[in-house]
């Protein structure tokens, strides 16, 4: 005969309550970091530097622009995948 262990319902409930209380604050903080003016400025600098390095390396400017756009799209995709659907920012 198989003996079933008791499920700690009270402890699971308390854990889920704690997680549901703290998760929105955590996600909000992450969104503030990702979409702050400072983050935007740093991203702009990084993208500009990426483009400049490509051109200085001899990549034609049109190809460098395409590669830079692809770079930005891949970063955006990583961010969107990391965030829950309801927290993702609308497309602009």
Rounded to whole angstroms, the Cα distance separating 92 from 81 reads 17
* Inter-residue contact 68 to 54 (CB < 8 Å): yes
pLDDT at 36: 84
Measured between alpha carbons, how far is 58 from 55 in angstroms, rounded to an integer? 5
CB-count burial class (<10 Å; 0-12, 13-18, 19+) for 55: middle
In this prediction the pTM is 0.54
pLDDT tens for 6-49 read: 888 888 888 888 888 888 887 777 777 777 888 888 888 999 99
Of 37, 38, 35, the C-alpha closest to 75 is: 35
More confident residue, 1 or 44: 44
């Amino acid at each position: 005969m198989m003996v079933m262990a008791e499920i700690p319902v009270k402890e699971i409930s308390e854990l889920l309550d704690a997680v549901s209380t703290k998760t929105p604050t955590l996600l909000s903080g992450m969104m503030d970091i990702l979409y702050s003016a400072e983050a935007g400025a740093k991203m702009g600098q990084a993208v500009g530097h990426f483009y400049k390095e490509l051109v200085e390396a001899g990549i034609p400017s049109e190809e460098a622009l395409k590669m830079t756009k692809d770079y930005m799209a891949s970063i955006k995709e990583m961010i969107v995948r990391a965030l829950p659907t309801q927290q993702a920012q609308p497309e602009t």
